[in-house]
Chain A
């Protein structure tokens, strides 16, 4: 095996505290560490100011503190083609996309990995809260130990071949410990706020952002019984199970989004968090990725249907065409087309897919989506 000092690890650095500590830990372990900043989105404003400039400045400061070389690479075109186009297409289809899953699949662990390998990297590392277990020639992905931060949900599309080249040094640490390490070492980013939301939208208003790219068509808000409750700003702005921002009150509420009818441009709402219309018992997932061996028969495991959700028992019926039927042990609330379903066997992440169809009592819920 190569010695650490002869092992080049290229760290994807965002200018945040997580990737800063990632680089620090690897450097402490004696690896040949190189920091690379990815620029995936151009948000330059009318004054020529761009958040990437400040973030890159932080990368520079941290790398200089660690005395490691740093570079930048531009993936704006790849990001636009592979992530943002998908993002808009899904919204156009009335679904709720997950650009982070796509970004990991197409950019961080594809374009960036390829770039790193062309620079002689043995591994790439990121500040994700997940763990990779390398055993001989095999690699498995495990949940991060910090339950609240575990990011395997977003990494479900990675393959074993990719994971062989990946390190997640933060996977066995709680976030509080990462902050503590950053402060203890006086890293320039130790007190920097965590970024929130989708990276290309940042702190901006989501509705405003989306309306710049997709025409919004206002329409009626109705109950499933056909009672008109108000007007919506465009179906793409709403997601299944949502309560906030509907702008309707009155008796019978609170109201929740229980479905969308794209054809008639109607947003369906129902009263009560536990509205029956929000519950389903199975789904069809597409684009399934199995990190290790693909199962050939039905099996029982646990699954997450959204980030930070508790696991739920499911039985998976895999098909040969990369789709699967997933039957829930118990009815689930607000399963959302476009989001990821991710499978686990205890601590091991098996992979996942995109939620495509929702099923209740053997019937497709065609008003959802």
Chain B
């Protein structure tokens, strides 16, 4: 039995061309990009190219790109870095209840350090209310951070509108674009964002790498200290081979974006059609919102996440849920809790299926049949 991977929002398989670029770099380009000799220069070329490719992908310039160890670190630098560097202007931060834990736990940590954080609600469709944001803004607000696409539901937040709203306010605007990047076109100027987070391993690149876009006007305090790398904003010798792979992954994501978008939409429609054809009782969380096509969050009434995921895995379907179930503790999904209240059964019976490189029309159909069968068995 070959297992079918429907968890691309967790991580993605490395694209063969990415692996090729990384292997080549590992074997033939070991230099330290900070060195002044020929070995260093050769490695530095990889870095320069990566920075240029990354910048172009979001319509920014090279100097605005800070490579990090991934999305989590980029979020940490953006939020804590801005907070610490701008506390003379205020100590108020606005975020949402549906952010990734990299944002939420960073915000909570700042609260312990005396910052004041407002967590915006979302409606039952998973979208924030711009009026609530407007009302939450204060003279001492220094940062607003709202994710572009939610990692559990795929729901898109009104980033351009927020950017517009903040245009005349001192607060910097950060968006975690980890799940959006590669699916949606991104232009930091148009969106009026000051900081933007991207992760490599969500777009078929290697793990342990990401970048943060930082607008030249943003003042940022570094969170770690060392050499001059990344203009001191993120010191440490660069992971050159991974960066070479990331470059390849970005280029592929850029050139294939529209085609992938269409393909994943087809996968999604096929998957849901099979569930309907098999009379599976389900609802789609965030159904009426704008969503990316590669993530769906499906509630199966009368079931629970543990039984579903275990059954799926044992029958060769890999999916996940927003409910953390480490060591048998089921924490209801904070995203679905924010959408429906904590007591809604949706928070403990919803599964995220996310599509990508590991999928084909055939294995999507096969997976959907298996899912339908299991849900039928568990609910009858």
**Chain A contact residues, CB within 8 Å of chain B:** 34, 36-39, 42, 50, 52-53, 55-57, 69, 71-74, 115, 118-120
Contact = CB atoms under 8 A, between A and B. Distances in A.
B146 to A, nearest CB: 27
B73 to A, nearest CB: 22
B306 A74 contact: yes
Contacts of B325: 72, 74
15 contacts: A36-B310, A39-B327, A39-B329, A52-B327, A53-B326, A56-B327, A69-B313, A74-B330, A115-B307, A118-B311, A119-B310, A119-B311, A119-B314, A120-B311, A120-B314
B226 interface: no
B114 interface: no
A56 B328 CA distance: 8
B326 A72 contact: yes
B313 A52 contact: no
B85 interface: no
* The 10 A-B residue pairs with the shortest CB-CB distance in the complex, in nearest-first order: A39-B328, A72-B328, A56-B327, A71-B310, A53-B327, A52-B327, A74-B328, A74-B330, A73-B306, A37-B328
Q: Is the interface of B mostly helix, strand, loop or mixed?
A: helix
B130 interface: no
A52 B329 CA distance: 9
Contacts of B313: 69, 71
Contact of B314 (A53, A57, A69): A69
A38 B328 contact: yes
B5 to A, nearest CB: 15
Nearest to B309: A71
B378 interface: yes
Contacts of B327: 37, 39, 50, 52-53, 55-57, 72
Contact of B326 (A56, A115, A120): A56
A53 B327 CA distance: 5
Contacts of B326: 53, 56, 72
Nearest to A55: B327
Interface string B304-344: 00110111011000000000011111100000000000000
Given A53-B327, A72-B328, A73-B310, 19 more contacts: A36-B310, A37-B328, A38-B328, A39-B327, A52-B327, A52-B329, A55-B327, A72-B325, A72-B326, A73-B306, A73-B328, A74-B328, A74-B329, A115-B306, A115-B307, A119-B307, A119-B310, A119-B314, A120-B311
Nearest to B378: A118
A50 B327 CA distance: 9
A156 B289 CA distance: 55
A67 to B, nearest CB: 15
A120 B374 CA distance: 11
B307 A118 contact: yes
Interface string B294-310: 00000000000011011
Contacts of B377: 118
Name, among A42, A56, A74, the residue most crowded by chain B CB atoms within 10 Å (CB to CB).
A74
Nearest to B305: A74
B221 to A, nearest CB: 28
Contacts of B309: 71
A331 B167 CA distance: 90
B247 to A, nearest CB: 34
Contacts of A74: 306, 325, 328-330
Contacts of B329: 39, 42, 50, 52, 74
Contacts of A53: 326-327
A42 B328 CA distance: 10
A359 B378 CA distance: 49
B366 to A, nearest CB: 18
Interface string B223-253: 0000000000000000000000000000000
Interface in B73-93: none
A115 B329 CA distance: 16
A37 B327 CA distance: 7
A73 B378 CA distance: 16
A56 B329 CA distance: 11
